[in-house]
């Protein structure tokens, strides 16, 4: 369904049942949303303006067209920016710190080397999918990609397997975690916007990510290896590759590294399970578990444990650890601003009641959970294809659909599935307007056509298979 056929249908359905009071006629509000989103898309894709500035300008245009005064538009944007940063900014910063510690200490290398050394050529694609997922759990996609590209090339070179049989499963693990599982910026922002439970979303996110990784990873890799036959790039040659003695640096152990990675996940999942089993309990033990399972607390504990466990294992000095922590924050400044601006755009949509009108129109199409989840996926897909940014797509779609949660009285489980449907849509059809597309192309020496036949199809498979799993889960929650 195209945007041109979807929007008239939504407007027609909206006219059948009057939504809550608005600041302007419904058609003006929907037009304001279209103009605002189009402004953001054009500025990002054609004018090459940074997404942060594009979101600021697009939010302003949306508010003014919707009939909000300039002062109120600015106030709405600032309010949304602040609330989103308060809910998500700290988590993104903590995740960046931990990811940098994992990379600088050699803990990520330890995980990869241990898993790969015990794998046969037959099982290697499956192992690399698991490596991508484990490394992708605490790291941003771009960081994980830069970290794992040398590993992918090294493993392909030493195993003799086609490059795509190694690269595709690893990239599938990274991308699925980025789209579905907090503490990545997109899922975190969506959770905050629709007020979903982080632990529940994390639990469902893992369930959705696993089949998506299997389908888009090892299974698709068999076809990608036939469609895209390229040599292993002559990059990242090690001392062993050159026939020299390797200079082995101390690294943390496999068990200790895996423990530090899984610690925050375990704390958040434990809190979610306890909330389900004992929702009204005020016992001291539940209070402690709830506290430890708070996302900020769990990630802070992971960072502190990582500084000790990973730093000690790598024999990093206090100064080395401090430098690693300090250098982790500047690279995520842009991400923080984009996420905050996305929250500001959301608030403009909310205060102008645009989000309410669109959500009301979707609810008139059908209030059944699978229908709502499909439209959530579709909205994210349209924004993703237009802007090339999974994070922008997730935040914008979540802001637009936020009123659905209250209007339909969605349960916590349903709200988590809404987040995951949006996440599935946010990774659909990576193409030439996506930075990740060009990173994959250049790192592996592919042509644009080869990148479309490998990376782009991989992203579509993750998106569609993720949506299917989300819809299946919606039938039983």
Q: What is the pLDDT of residues 289-324, one digit of tens each?
A: 888 888 788 889 989 999 999 998 888 899 999 998
Higher pLDDT, 215 or 247: 215
pLDDT tens readout for residues 32-87? 888 888 888 788 778 888 888 988 998 899 889 988 888 989 998 898 888 778 76
pLDDT over 90 at 171, yes or no: yes
Out of 3-12, 247-256, 406-415, 453-462, which region has the weakest mean confidence (pLDDT)? 3-12
Mean pLDDT of 422-444: 81
- Residue 364 has a pLDDT of 67
CA dist 218 and 124 (Å) reads 9
Task: Tell whether the model's pLDDT for residue 213 goes beyond 70.
Answer: yes
Please determine, for residue 227, whether its predicted confidence score (pLDDT) is greater than 90.
yes
Torsion of CA 303, 309, 313, 315, to 10 degrees: 60
Q: Of 247-251, 385-389, 453-457, where does the model show the most confidence?
A: 453-457
Greater pLDDT, 11 or 274: 274
Mean per-residue pLDDT for 391-396?
A: 82
Assign 147 a pLDDT band (cuts: 50, 70, 90): low
Confidence (pLDDT) at 138: 64
Q: What is the 3-state secondary structure (H, E, C) of 213-282?
A: HHHHHHHHHHHHHHHCCCCCCCCCCCCCCCCCCCCCCCCCCHHHHHHHHHHHHHHHHHHHHHHHHCCCCC
Judged against a pLDDT cut of 80, whether residue 131 lies above it is answered with yes
Residue 30 has pLDDT above 60, yes or no: yes
Where residue 363 falls among pLDDT bands split at 50, 70, 90?
Answer: low
* pLDDT for the residue numbered 143: 62
The residue written with tokens 């949303």 in the block is: 33
pLDDT of residue 239: 44
pLDDT number for residue 142: 66
pTM for the structure as a whole: 0.69
pLDDT at 199: 81
Higher pLDDT pick, 198 / 469: 469
Stretch among 26-35, 230-239, 240-249, 262-271 having the lowest mean pLDDT: 240-249
Question: Distance between CA atoms of 192 and 296, rounded to whole angstroms?
Answer: 13
When mean pLDDT is compared across 158-162, 217-221, 459-463, the lowest value belongs to 158-162
- How many percent of the chain have pLDDT more than 70? 84
For residue 387, the model assigns a pLDDT of: 67
Confidence of residue 237 (pLDDT cuts 50, 70, 90): low
Contact 357, 30 (CB under 8 A): yes
Return mean pLDDT, the chain.
81
If you compute the radius of gyration of the chain from its CA atoms, what whole number of angstroms results?
A: 22
Q: Which residue in 363, 353, 445 sits closest to 156, CA to CA?
A: 445
Q: What percent of the chain has pLDDT over 90?
A: 20
More confident residue, 261 or 224: 224
More confident residue, 402 or 460: 460
pLDDT of 337 strictly over 60: yes
Do residues 131 and 277 touch, judged by C-beta distance below 8 A?
A: no
Cα separation, 390 vs 411, whole angstroms: 25
Q: What's the pLDDT at 223? A: 95
Rounded to whole angstroms, the Cα distance separating 139 from 182 reads 10
pLDDT of residue 369: 83
403 vs 322, which has greater pLDDT? 322
- Per-residue pLDDT, 327: 85
Residue 434, C-beta contacts closer than 8 angstroms, at least 6 positions apart: 388, 389
Arithmetic mean of pLDDT, 122-131: 90
By CB atoms closer than 10 A (0-12, 13-18, 19+), residue 232 is buried
For residues 385-403, give the mean pLDDT.
79
At 139 the pLDDT is: 64
């Amino acid at each position: 369904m195209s945007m041109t056929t979807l929007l008239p249908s939504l407007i027609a359905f909206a006219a059948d049942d009057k939504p809550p009071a608005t600041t302007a006629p419904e058609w003006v509000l929907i037009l304001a949303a279209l103009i605002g989103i189009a402004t953001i898309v054009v500025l990002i894709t054609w004018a090459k303006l940074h997404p942060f500035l594009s979101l600021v300008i697009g939010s302003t245009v949306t508010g003014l067209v919707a009939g909000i005064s300039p002062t109120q538009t600015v106030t709405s944007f600032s309010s949304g920016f602040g609330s989103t940063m308060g809910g998500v900014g700290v988590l993104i910063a903590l995740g960046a710190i931990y990811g940098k510690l994992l990379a600088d200490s050699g803990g990520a290398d330890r995980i990869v080397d241990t898993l790969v050394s015990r794998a046969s050529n037959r099982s290697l694609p499956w192992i690399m999918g698991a490596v991508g997922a484990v490394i992708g759990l605490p790291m941003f996609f771009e960081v994980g990609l830069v970290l794992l590209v040398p590993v992918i090339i090294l493993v392909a070179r030493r195993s003799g397997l086609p490059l795509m049989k190694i690269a595709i499963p690893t990239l599938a693990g990274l991308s699925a975690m980025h789209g579905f599982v907090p503490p990545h910026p997109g899922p975190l922002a969506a959770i905050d916007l629709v007020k979903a439970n982080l632990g529940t979303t994390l639990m469902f996110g893992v369930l959705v990510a696993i089949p998506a990784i299997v389908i888009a990873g090892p299974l698709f890799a068999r076809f990608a290896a036939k469609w895209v036959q390229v040599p292993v790039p002559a990059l990242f040659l090690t001392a062993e590759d050159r026939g020299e003695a390797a200079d082995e640096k101390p690294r943390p152990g496999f068990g200790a590294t895996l423990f530090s990675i899984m610690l925050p996940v375990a704390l958040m999942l434990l809190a979610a399970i306890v909330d389900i089993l004992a929702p009204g309990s005020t016992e001291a033990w539940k209070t402690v578990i709830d506290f430890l399972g708070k996302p900020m607390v769990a990630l802070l504990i992971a960072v502190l444990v990582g500084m000790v466990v990973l730093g000690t294992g790598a024999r990093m000095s206090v100064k080395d650890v401090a430098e690693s922590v300090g250098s982790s924050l500047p690279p995520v400044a842009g991400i923080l601003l984009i996420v905050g601006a996305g929250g500001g755009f959301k608030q403009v949509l909310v205060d102008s009641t645009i989000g309410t009108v669109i959500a009301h129109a979707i609810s008139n199409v059908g209030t059944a959970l699978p229908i709502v989840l499909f439209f959530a996926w579709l909205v994210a897909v349209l924004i993703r294809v237009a802007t090339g940014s999974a994070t922008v797509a997730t935040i914008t779609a979540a802001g637009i659909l936020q009123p659905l949660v209250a209007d339909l009285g969605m349960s916590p489980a349903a709200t988590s599935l809404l987040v995951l449907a949006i996440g599935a849509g946010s990774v659909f059809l990576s193409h030439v307007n996506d930075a990740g597309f060009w990173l994959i192309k250049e790192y592996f020496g592919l042509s644009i056509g080869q990148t479309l036949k490998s990376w782009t199809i991989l992203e579509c498979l993750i998106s569609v298979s993720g949506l299917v799993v989300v819809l299946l889960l919606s039938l039983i929650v």
